[in-house]
């Protein structure tokens, strides 16, 4: 039975903001799943502030964030913790962070690649409107995807993520998108660096060893409520005429994603 503590970070930016996600729902779901494992104790934060206070005695870090990211010394603290044996599961917006304005384009923004992304191992570029797409398991032997259907469909934000340490990254989940999103949707990027060598597939989940510890990331998991909805429209594969559902749970309601989460939490807690 594991008795190691887990630290859960769920929140938006600025502090207290939802950043267009139902943070309360995600927090409750993750706490419920962690509570299924006897002996696991969990502390909770809204962002990475004072992370140095929470990592001592902590074996597992879980983050579901939209905006918060490792800043300054926090990055080195987490790297040292990982090297010593800690494990970090990043979900959904953890691969994001901060966006910068583009000179001469007042309404355009580009995501900024930060040291946070080097530690996580990936960098978010953009996503098309919420749509329905297929998720494929790339390596069924890894404990995070064990028992997950070889392919399953979800409705979600299809993240374009650039892998920053491909040589040492074990890709667990992939998808294919028939075409890139319209150039005027979301964030601007110069090149689609999320494409894998086959020029068709994109990674949606991976793991990588860091010293004695490791990092795993799963891009799925958008959710919003009527009060937190920030989606101007969705793809017609999700709703007729692209009308945004005011209450959206997406991948959270699929057996595939629920199995992924349970597996990933077991991977991190040693259950």
Domain extent at residue 140: 5-269
Within 13 Å, how many C-alpha atoms sit on residue 107's CB side? 4
Instruction: Please report, in tens digits, the pLDDT of each residue of the chain (271 residues total).
Output: 445 799 999 999 999 999 999 999 999 999 999 999 888 999 999 999 999 999 999 999 999 999 999 999 999 999 999 999 999 999 999 999 999 998 888 888 999 999 999 999 999 999 999 999 999 999 889 999 999 999 999 999 999 999 999 999 999 999 998 666 666 688 998 889 999 999 999 999 999 999 999 999 999 999 999 999 999 999 999 998 999 999 999 999 999 999 999 999 999 998 7
Total domains present in the chain = 1
Both ends of the chain: CA-CA distance in Å?
A: 7
Q: What is the Cα gyration radius of the chain? A: 18
**This model's pTM is above 0.85:** yes
Q: How many CB atoms lie within 10 A of CB 71?
A: 16
pLDDT tens digit sequence for 91-139:
999 999 999 998 888 888 999 999 999 999 999 999 999 999 999 999 8
The pLDDT assigned to 56 comes to 95
With tokens 């300054």, the residue in question is 72
Alpha helices in the chain (DSSP H): 23-35, 51-54, 73-83, 115-120, 255-269
Q: How many helices (DSSP H) and strands (DSSP E) are in the chain?
A: 5, 13
Among residues 222, 220, 213, the alpha carbon closest in space to that of 268 is found at 213
């Amino acid at each position: 039975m594991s008795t190691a503590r887990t630290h859960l970070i769920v929140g938006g930016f600025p502090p207290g903001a939802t950043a267009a996600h139902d943070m309360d729902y995600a927090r409750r779901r993750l706490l419920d799943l962690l509570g299924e494992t006897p002996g696991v104790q969990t502390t909770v934060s809204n962002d990475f502030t004072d992370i140095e206070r929470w990592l001592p005695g902590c074996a597992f870090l879980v983050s579901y964030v939209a905006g918060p990211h490792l800043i300054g010394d926090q990055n080195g603290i987490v790297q040292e913790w990982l090297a010593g044996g800690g494990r970090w599961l990043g979900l959904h917006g953890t691969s994001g962070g901060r966006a910068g304005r583009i000179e001469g384009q007042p309404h355009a923004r580009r995501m900024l690649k930060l040291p946070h992304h080097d530690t996580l191992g990936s960098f978010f570029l953009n996503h098309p409107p919420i749509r329905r797409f297929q998720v494929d398991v790339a390596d069924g032997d890894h404990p995070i995807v064990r028992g997950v259907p070889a392919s399953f469909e979800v409705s979600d934000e299809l993240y374009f993520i650039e892998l920053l340490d491909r040589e040492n990254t074990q890709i667990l989940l992939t998808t294919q998108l028939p075409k890139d999103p319209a150039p005027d949707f979301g964030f601007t990027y110069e090149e689609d660096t999320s494409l894998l060598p086959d020029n068709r597939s994109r990674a949606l989940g991976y793991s990588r060893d860091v010293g004695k510890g490791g990092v795993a990331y799963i891009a799925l998991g958008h959710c919003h409520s009527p009060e937190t909805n920030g989606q101007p429209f969705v793809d017609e594969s999700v709703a007729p005429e692209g009308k945004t559902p005011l209450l959206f749970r997406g991948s959270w309601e699929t057996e595939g994603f629920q199995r992924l989460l349970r597996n990933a939490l077991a991977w991190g807690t040693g259950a």
